[in-house]
Amino acid sequence: MRFGILKELTEKRVAITPDFVKKLVAQKHEVVFEKGCGEGAALVDELFVAEGAKAADRAEVLAAADVITTIIPLPESDLDQVKKGAVLISQFQPFADDSICEKLASKGLTALSMDMIPRSTIAQAMDVLSSMASIAGYKAVLTAADHLPRYMPMLSTAAGTIRPAKMLVLGAGVAGLQAIATGRRLGAMVEAFDTRAAAKEEVMSLGAKFVEVEGASDDKAAGGYAVEQTEEYKQRQADLIFQKVSKADIVITTAQLRGRPAPLLVNEEMLKAMPQGAVLIDLAASTGGNVAFSKHREVVKTHGVTIVGNSELADEVPEHASQLFSRNVENFLKHKDFLSEEGFSFDFEEDIFGSACIVYNGEVRFGAPALTK
């Protein structure tokens, strides 16, 4: 089979890195890549060529590839150039907008959506959401430090002692936990809040204080996402968060609801109560945001605080983000020999592959019951 690697139109990352190219070539597959596809991630063309890939322009890759892997789904103009029967691997997010399935089906394509892989123990090695969230959590703290007009650690100097910055993390999933760990390493005093009781032990193990609101609905079947809470709980949550936000130098928000707008956790009144110069990093900005006035990929200054909205902070660490994404795809394709020298083995009864395949040969599978081989 011929694998195609394209330059992302809005990202520095690249979906397949040279180390995976080497393995594909060893498995008797061909690899063709768009010139300059990895430059944003410090992966020059020579690295791809050295592992056996061939350079081409974008139109050639689109027309020739049997399998195309991207981080962001291809735009309509590119889909028109992909040959019928090709397999597309990306993050299609059909749970947010299932019309993408009909669009792909109308082109006679097969689509494997990496964000539909179950977030289970066996699938951890192929979980792109966790890989990218971990990087985003790390980068969120560095971004906050860059905008903060104060030190993060406590410093004892000849001129006196500087107190450590207070950091509050709202949402202690993968991104939140990485933010906590990074904030602690940089010397901040860290507190964290999450509706999931299971997060308490993880937060405390990293040396942070867990902010707990009694009476949360804890859905263990939610795949790592927060769940909708009662109005009474939301009010208690808002009151406690107000107290914590009003004293924080840095607030990092990560709370997202799968397929629904992100919950608003920090409203305008909270922003007004924050210390001047405080910084908020909203990792849920692309789905509406956890912070009032937050805008995706924009920096907003209001009421004396800085709000950085960016759900794609992993793209600011493009080399390692590309490596992790590529390894996730590699682990997915080698799971139970989905990909061999002969091509794909489409086993819809297998939980991981059956969930990821949202369109098969022009037929929509998203939301369909399990099928036989």
115, 127, 194, 249: the active-site residue = 127
CB 266 within 8 A of CB 289: no
- Domain covering 2-125+317-364: architecture: 3-Layer(aba) Sandwich (3.40)
80 is catalytic: no
Phi/psi class of residue 85: alpha, beta or left (left: φ > 0; alpha: ψ in -120 to 50)?
A: left
Compute mean pLDDT per 10 residues along the chain, 373 residues long, and list them. Answer: 97 98 97 98 98 98 98 96 96 94 96 95 95 98 98 94 97 97 98 89 96 72 62 85 96 92 94 98 96 97 98 97 98 94 89 95 81 39
Q: Is 124 a known active-site residue?
A: yes
- The yes-or-no answer on residue 119 being catalytic is yes
Predicted pLDDT at 238: 85
Rounded-to-integer distance, Cα 136 and Cα 158, Å: 36
Catalytic, out of 150, 225, 260, 297: 225
Query: Which residue among the candidates 90, 113, 130, 355 is catalytic per the annotation?
Result: 130
pLDDT at residue 236, as a whole number:
86
Q: Which residue is catalytic, options 119, 150, 184, 236?
A: 119
pLDDT of residue 370: 46
**pLDDT of 213:** 82
3-state secondary structure 269-329: HHHHHCCCCCEEEECCHHHCCCECCCCCCEEEEECCEEEEECCCHHHHCHHHHHHHHHHHH
Which position among 124, 217, 235, 345 bears the catalytic label? 124
Same fold, 2-125+317-364 and 132-316: yes
Residue ranges covered by each domain of the chain? 2-125+317-364, 132-316
pLDDT score, position 53: 98
Domain 132-316 has CATH 2.40.30.10: no
CA distance 350 to 120: 13
